[in-house]
Amino acid sequence: MRIHPFVYGFLVLGVFFGTILGFQRAGIWSTSGKITASGDQVQPSATDVDTIKGWMTLEQITTTYQVPFQELITQFELPADTAPSTPIKDLESDTFSVTNLRTWLQIRLQPVNPVPPGDSSPLPAPQGTPTPANTDQVIPDPTAHVSTARTITGKTTLQELLDWGVPENAIQSVLGSELPALGTPIKDFVTGKGQEFSPIKTKLQALVDATN
Amino acid sequence: MAVQSRPAPVTPGTVKPHLRGVKTLLTHQTFRRVSQLGFAVFIAFLAIQHVVIGENGPVVTASPEAFCPFGGLETLYKYLTSGGTFVSHTHLSNVVLLVAVLAVALLLRSAFCGWICPLGFLQDLVSNLSHVLQKRLPGLRRSMTSLKKRGARLAVLDRYLRYLKYLVLAWTVGGSAYFGFMVFRDYDPWSALLNLGEFSFTPGMIVLGITLVASFFIERPWCRYACPLGAASGLLGKVSPTYLKREESACTSCKICTKACPMGIEVHTAKTIRSADCITCLECVGSCPRNGALEVKFGLPILGK
């Protein structure tokens, strides 16, 4: 059967757009991790701290997890003039990151078990700054770094590490493999291998600090 | 009252009428260019909007990378094996676009490359500029002719280099599945172009530069030798019921079709064009001076029907 070139062109566009529209009608479409298929903004889940993303704002966190804004500022030593609309990733530092925030909120979410009256076993000493809400909870200890300019975040690339003077073999030793393309964000590379970013970040940060 | 009779059916092999005036624009080639331009403008709009509004603006703006079907191919393994999560920089839209491209390939061959892909359009623009300059500048034309004569010896190399895109396809899909991130992104000229506004310099910028410079001398170099999406689309297109048929009785083997083909396929010697490299731009059909010598057919190319 012969197809006229014009008809062929319409068929190409029809099949292409028809497929896309079909998926969109079925709700299978999203162009951003920030919005759902229906166009609503993705919100963190009040029961699952892993749903917290770097682009989410402090306001979203305080609302969802019912944390006083000032407590968040104090806990993570954030600048006092921080706006509630600031995304988490823009505030990443030695003391504040998505991982730290998740850990802290996870502990806050856990129910407080009252100590039985006759129990004489000593309580473990708190390892961090207690919060007013849960004074018997273990708070992640902020690291001892003082540098803020050379802080590894989720966006830091391997090239930046090298630029900061960290030797290539030292990075390889921490990552446990050959270096991929230098423009690759470290976080993408590490999580892509199925590893946790946080411990590797700590080790790499120690290397960065050692170069100062 | 004048009775308007239906035009008589054209006889295969007769010379097509010469188009004049506005009619020269009412062709499928113009339609194709409008389609390509539309997509290129849409992607440019997304890229500019994303840079201007930024990630922390009052509205969520989609990254132009969210509209790249190849991102869907790179994230497909993770999407299928991890219950709906994606590798970084990809979203559900990438997977949907990939399905749309593959649906087009399955039914209508690699028409996405010829009618929609903005990177292909960009290469076409550079090649067209080269043709225009060669017409205006005799010195350049002579140099290019001389270069092509010398380059003819490398024709055999062209044949083998075309397999390179399948290696790129295997590397990008396999690498993304194994490492869990887009191993190709840093080398991808399209990604480099989209991120131009964010001043991120990657090896992809060099690949983009080489592609555009090479487009001045050879048509669609990226599509011919390295595009992994074109490789996937071309392979699937091999089972498509759509094909091009050359009617030997109507053809005079003038080679105009072969010269018009941006992918360098020898159209004038084939009975049916089933090459995985064919992007069905239909430049060969449009350039053919004979009625019925070269046509788009829908059926089983093996049976020739």
Mean pLDDT, chain B, whole residue set: 87
Q: Read off φ and ψ for residue B301, nearest 5 degrees.
A: -60, -25
Residue B218 CA to chain centroid, in angstroms?
Answer: 14
pLDDT confidence tier of residue B199, bands split at 50, 70 and 90: low
Residues with Cβ within 8 Å of residue B123, at least 6 apart in sequence: B211, B212, B215, B219, B220, B221, B222, B223
B164-187: average pLDDT: 91
d(CA B174, CA B170): 6
Amino acid B52 reads V
Q: Which of B91, B180, B282 sits opposite A193 (nearest CB)?
A: B180
Return the H-helix or E-strand segment holding A158: helix A158-163
Q: With an 8 Å Cβ cutoff, are B96 and A9 in contact? A: no
Q: Read off φ and ψ for residue A185, nearest 5 degrees.
A: -60, 135
B158 has a chain A CB within 8 A of its CB? no
The answer to whether A116 touches A84, Cβ cutoff 8 Å, is no
Is pLDDT at A161 greater than 90 in this prediction? no
pLDDT in tens, A1-27: 889 999 999 999 999 999 999 999 988
Residue predicted with more confidence, A119 or A184: A184
* Extended beta strands in B251-290, E state: 272-273
Is pLDDT at A129 greater than 70 in this prediction? no
B62 has a chain A CB within 8 A of its CB? yes
Give the pLDDT of residue B167.
96
pLDDT in tens, B42-86: 999 888 888 887 766 667 677 888 888 998 888 888 888 877 778
Q: Read off φ and ψ for residue B101, nearest 5 degrees.
A: -65, -40
**In chain B, what residues touch A41 (CB-CB under 8 Å)?**
60
pTM: 0.70
d(CA B98, CA B102): 6
Is pLDDT at A200 greater than 70 in this prediction? yes
Q: With an 8 Å Cβ cutoff, are B96 and A3 in contact? A: no
pLDDT confidence tier of residue B189, bands split at 50, 70 and 90: very high
pLDDT confidence tier of residue B17, bands split at 50, 70 and 90: confident
Residue of B183, B283, B296, B305 to mutate, interface with A, max A Cβ within 10 Å: B296
- Look at residues B126, B119, B109, B116 and name the one whose alpha carbon lies nearest to residue B32: B116
Give the pLDDT of residue A88.
87
Residue predicted with more confidence, B2 or A169: A169
Q: With an 8 Å Cβ cutoff, are A11 and B203 in contact? A: no
Is pLDDT at B261 greater than 90 in this prediction? yes
Mean pLDDT, chain A, whole residue set: 77
Amino acid B84 reads G
**In chain A, what residues touch B183 (CB-CB under 8 Å)?**
180-181
**In chain B, what residues touch A8 (CB-CB under 8 Å)?**
28, 108, 111, 242, 280, 282, 296
pLDDT in tens, B200-225: 678 899 999 999 999 999 999 999 99
B230: its two tokens: 């074109």
Closest residue in chain A to residue B108, using alpha carbons only: A12
Closest residue in chain B to residue A26, using alpha carbons only: B96
